[in-house]
Structure 1
Amino acid sequence: MIGELTAQPVDHLALLPAYLAAVTAVAVLLADLFVARWAVTVAVGVTGAVGVAGVALYAMGQPERRTFCGSLSGVDDSLGFACSYVADSRAALVAVLFAALTAGVLALSVPTLRTGTVPAGEYCFLLACSMIGGVVLGAAGDLITLIVAVETLTLPLYILVGLQRQRVAAAEAAVTFFVVSVASTAVALLGAALLYGAYGAVHLDLLAGVSGLAESATHAVGGSVDGQARLARVGVVLLLVGLAFKVAAVPLHAWAPKTYDGAPVPVAAYLSTASKLGGVVAIVAVVTEGLYPQLAASGPVLAVLAVATMTVGNLVALRQRRMVRLLAWSSIAQAGYILVPLAAAAGLAGRGVEERAVAVAAVFAYAVFFVVLELAAFAAVVALRPAAADGGTIAGYAGVARRRPWVGAALVFALIGLAGLPPGLAGLFAKVAVVRSLLVGGAGWLALVVALNAVVGLAYYLRVAVTLYARPSALPAQGAAPAGGALVWPVAWPVAVVLAAATVVAVVLGFAPQVVFDAVAG
């Protein structure tokens, strides 16, 4: 241990978004218990999520608040104060995103819940519990809080994936997700334990200070690496590899396509957006806040993960024939784009504050743009499929944009945005931000890899867009399902609201991307 922690008073205002998220989960459970109507349960869940987002939005403009803090005796004054919960503007932004995604996925789930194929109470309660983990994750100030928040975000998803008990594919997807996730969590915990063993600290601020002093001492004696430094670097690598599972980064990516395709489409939307966002937030906190003095160890690891993830994701997506599997492999490739700025700032381009700031801004901005466009894409898929159906084959969507022009146009806009082409300006600015961060960090070769992968991604995004407007040789009559399984059924109004809202937000962010950059910059 580096010192004895003396507790300070708890700031309950800093914890207010987390409190509201927990109240939402309890309220959903009570609504299902005493009212037992799925519409009321969903309404309570959506109302609670909107309340969490509102409180977090208000907190975004307020001064930073810290709680679960303590002073450490026996250490330098500059390292003697640490907090486990830091409610700053970035944490508020993360809380807003998780709350908005939870409300959106609840609305997308209305057609599925209406059929009774999944129990509404358990479904909404599990989503609300997952939201608690996401809200806390953004403010995590130590490795224990961070890992517990990540697991709180992830654990309910195991059950949600397999909640359609009558589908064998759902059960297989849930088991695959669970097994790989448990293994990755064990790896992350081992990494955290090694870091604690090396430095005697779990708080991110303390880890940064203590590891910085250790690295300075190493350089002062001629660069020789002692046992403590080796232990810490192994811990960094293991922690990053364990957290990489949450963003479906290669080599811990194989669970994503099977899980997304086997889960209900709204749950797949949540996995592709909220779960991935949680992994990004955790990795950013570890790399840029707690372990930036260890950048020499984390930088090459992140570079390998990012390059392999975007390349494998794009190449395998080219061969996909099912819509949700294509979106799954696409999201894997997008995870590579999200991670690559951290690799540049972390070890390949020096340790300057400017490089880290640009990298963090690029990562968060890309993550925000991605989750908005990805949610819009999944909302369009839900709108174009019968209630409780899976995503179907890509061929089954042939000509669907001619029958549902607005829904088809929204899906094409989301796909073009993910590809980084105009008029999807949000996606274009996201990729520009990533490339700019790489050039600022001096990692030009990584910028070239990103550009090449973006070109590969155009092939499958444009293929789907062309399919939507294709002219099938024999179109079925109105009200009948085409042979491929695409749809002409009425769109539920909650689904239409989510699709319209996500599309409008994507358009607004395309014309005013600085709103996101200002928010992530604090």
Structure 2
Amino acid sequence: MNAQAIDHIALLPAYLAALTALAVLVVDLFSGRSALVLGVAAAGLAAVSIAAARLVGLGDRSTLCAEDGCSYVTTGPGSGIVIVLCALGLAVLGMSAATLAAEDVAHGEYVFLLLCSLTGAIVLAYAGDLITVIVAVETLTLPLYVLVAARRRRLAAAEAAVNILVVSVAAGAVTLFGAALLYAATSTMHLDALAVALEGDVGALHVVAIAMVIGGLAFKVAAVPLHGWAPGAYDGAPLPIAAHLSTVSKLGGVVALLWIVTRGLGPLAATGGLIIAIISIATMTVGNLAALRQTRAVRLLAWSSIAQAGYLLAPFAILAAEPDDTAVVAIAVLGYAVFYVLLEATAFAAVTALRGTRDDGGSLSDYAGAARRHPLTGGALILALIGLAGLPPGFAGLFAKVTVVSALAVPAPVVAIVVGVNAVIALTYYLRFARVLLARAPFPNVPQPWPVAFTVAASTAAVVIIGFAPQFVLNLV
């Protein structure tokens, strides 16, 4: 493609996402009605997903190109990720109905920032160079500082926002420094050209740069050692924003790591795979052991999310033994990620519904008898917990773990064993939460706004359908 030409068709999903965010501000300015704001946002996300689906039929397209590569490349997996991101965005909007009913939350600004964050994730799905990856990651992250503190009267929310801000700035600086070192060593930022440049002589500078980029991006998936912000941020933020952190933000971080390692590192993919394998083992172990001690629902889900990040990163260990198996790694990572975010969205939607107008997740004891008082919502939460644990009938989670373990069995048996051991440890707290939900105890009748109830039903249906048709997810990637 001509380096000066811009393919506006390829850029259409990003255009639509950004225009939807601006439209939300205009609608809020003239109407001030949260229902209308949410409706415009939902219509915009539907349009983005349709545009992304249309791009799948048009094949791979590239734009914003230079002599050594293109900064924006639309691929089938990238478009599949955008469709999943839009579905998650719709789920978060549905959960936000109760949050937006609060007087201390600005409707337009809240939804605008949510859509800005989602726009960053959408651009990230099509990123073709390190600069686009980093800018998209920062666009995904920056609105979260404000969204975490959306409930202005809560001290915990302010503390969580400051925490995520400090860690994010540090992680961003490390990532940028690593990218600068890679550019100094290779004279390119485009991922495909970077892989070619690394086929020559490599030294300690390259390894240090790669470690810094990977370590900085580990913040996005709440991986060790940059995981400490997650429990406080999840528990301090409004429940829909905690869901956004656990799904959209985490999927964006996984995609950033996947694109850089599988497309940009070339012969050094083995080095990147080894670094991520070490991070993965530490992350799943720390997350599961810490989750055993939690008594608050959202903190338990937060530590569980950290452990799940370890499982998400585990397939990268394949590259340490087989650097050319990038397709296998992509299928295992993205396949597990799609199953995970659907289960996590279901869990947070059910928690949001059961908490009603309360803006935090509460303690585990607050959910005693919830499945008996609200069988459909409580059942959805139990299904999500069982799925995250990898047990039937949560077939989506079971298939995800089987996919990861089977992919790791031959090239990285040690990591496969660690995944299996951690999955057994995780059963303890997932089943403990499920037992609380089924306890014989009085639970109040919680009014559930229809958008929240619909989100619970839709996310549960998606988990059930995909659990019985897992090949659909693999076709996306």
TM-score class, shorter: over 0.9
3-state SS of the aligned residue for 2:65?
A: strand
User: 1:101 & 1:299 partners in 2: Cα distance?
Assistant: 28
Query: What CA deviation, in whole Å up to 9, does each residue of 1:301-342 have, x standing for no partner?
Result: 111100000000000001100000000000000000010101
Give the match for residue 438 of structure 1: 408
What pairs with 1:290-369 in structure 2 (closer than 5 Å)? 290-345=264-319, 347=320, 349-352=321-324, 355-369=325-339
User: 1:177 & 1:20 partners in 2: Cα distance?
Assistant: 28
Percent of aligned positions that are identical: 55
User: 2:168 & 2:31 partners in 1: Cα distance?
Assistant: 35
Question: 444, 453, 457: which one pairs with 2:422?
Answer: 453
Give the match for residue 222 of structure 1: none
Give the match for residue 52 of structure 2: 56
User: 1:342 & 1:292 partners in 2: Cα distance?
Assistant: 14
Structure with greater Cα Rg: 1
Amino acid at match of 2:366: G
- Structure 1 pair 402/175, CA: closer, same or farther in 2 (3 Å)? same
Decide which moves more: 249-258 or 50-59.
50-59
Give the match for residue 263 of structure 1: 237
User: 1:296 & 1:125 partners in 2: Cα distance?
Assistant: 40
Give the match for residue 396 of structure 1: 366
Amino acid at match of 2:436: T
Residues 239, 361 of structure 2: 8 Å contact kept: yes
- What is the deviation of 1:388? 4.2
Residues 273, 375 of structure 1: 8 Å contact kept: yes
Give the match for residue 464 of structure 2: 507
User: 1:350 & 1:134 partners in 2: Cα distance?
Assistant: 29
Decide which moves more: 157-166 or 91-100.
91-100
Give the match for residue 88 of structure 2: 101
Q: TM-score, normalised by structure 2?
A: 0.98
- Asked if residue 21 in structure 1 is aligned to residue 21 in structure 2, the reply is no
3-state SS of the aligned residue for 1:109?
A: helix
Residues 399, 470 of structure 1: 8 Å contact kept: yes
Amino acid at match of 2:139: T
Residues 274, 316 of structure 2: 8 Å contact kept: no
Amino acid at match of 1:135: I
What pairs with 1:12-411 in structure 2 (closer than 5 Å)? 12-71=8-67, 81-212=68-199, 214=200, 218=201, 229-345=203-319, 347=320, 349-352=321-324, 355-411=325-381
3-state SS of the aligned residue for 1:177?
A: helix
Question: 433, 437, 446: which one pairs with 1:464?
Answer: 433
- What is the deviation of 1:6? 8.1
3-state SS of the aligned residue for 1:384?
A: helix
User: 2:146 & 2:288 partners in 1: Cα distance?
Assistant: 29
User: 1:501 & 1:235 partners in 2: Cα distance?
Assistant: 43
- What is the deviation of 1:491? 1.1
3-state SS of the aligned residue for 1:401?
A: helix
Residues 413, 424 of structure 1: 8 Å contact kept: yes
User: 1:204 & 1:388 partners in 2: Cα distance?
Assistant: 46
Residues 101, 273 of structure 1: 8 Å contact kept: yes
- What is the deviation of 1:505? 0.8
Residues 369, 440 of structure 2: 8 Å contact kept: yes
Query: What CA deviation, in whole Å up to 9, does each residue of 1:204-262 have, x standing for no partner?
Result: 000011112x1xxx4xxxxxxxxx52211110000000000000001100100000000
Amino acid at match of 1:418: L
- Asked if residue 9 in structure 1 is aligned to residue 12 in structure 2, the reply is no
Runs of 4+ in structure 1 off by over 6 angstroms are none
- For these two proteins, the number of residue pairs brought into alignment is 477
- Structure 1 pair 461/512, CA: closer, same or farther in 2 (3 Å)? same
Query: What CA deviation, in whole Å up to 9, does each residue of 1:158-203 have, x standing for no partner?
Result: 1000121111110000000000000000000011000000000000
- What is the deviation of 1:293? 1.5
Decide which moves more: 31-40 or 302-311.
31-40
Residues 115, 388 of structure 1: 8 Å contact kept: no
- What is the deviation of 1:295? 2.5
Give the match for residue 415 of structure 1: 385
3-state SS of the aligned residue for 2:6?
A: coil
- What is the deviation of 1:298? 1.5
Query: What CA deviation, in whole Å up to 9, does each residue of 1:131-165 have, x standing for no partner?
Result: 11011000000000000001001100110001211
User: 1:26 & 1:388 partners in 2: Cα distance?
Assistant: 30
User: 2:57 & 2:422 partners in 1: Cα distance?
Assistant: 37
Residues 246, 344 of structure 2: 8 Å contact kept: yes
User: 1:179 & 1:139 partners in 2: Cα distance?
Assistant: 28
3-state SS of the aligned residue for 2:317?
A: helix
Amino acid at match of 1:435: V
Amino acid at match of 1:39: A
- What is the deviation of 1:116? 2.0
3-state SS of the aligned residue for 2:224?
A: coil
User: 2:317 & 2:300 partners in 1: Cα distance?
Assistant: 26
Residues 196, 266 of structure 2: 8 Å contact kept: no
Amino acid at match of 1:40: L
Residues 264, 388 of structure 1: 8 Å contact kept: no
Residues 353, 377 of structure 2: 8 Å contact kept: yes
Query: What CA deviation, in whole Å up to 9, does each residue of 1:369-395 have, x standing for no partner?
Result: 000000000000000002142000001
- What is the deviation of 1:35? 1.4
Unaligned runs of 5+ in 2: none
Query: What CA deviation, in whole Å up to 9, does each residue of 1:478-509 have, x standing for no partner?
Result: xxxx5xxxx52111110111111111111111
- Asked if residue 426 in structure 1 is aligned to residue 396 in structure 2, the reply is yes
Unaligned runs of 5+ in 1: 72-80, 219-227, 476-481
User: 1:29 & 1:68 partners in 2: Cα distance?
Assistant: 29
Q: TM-score, normalised by structure 1?
A: 0.90
User: 2:85 & 2:144 partners in 1: Cα distance?
Assistant: 14
- What is the deviation of 1:38? 1.5
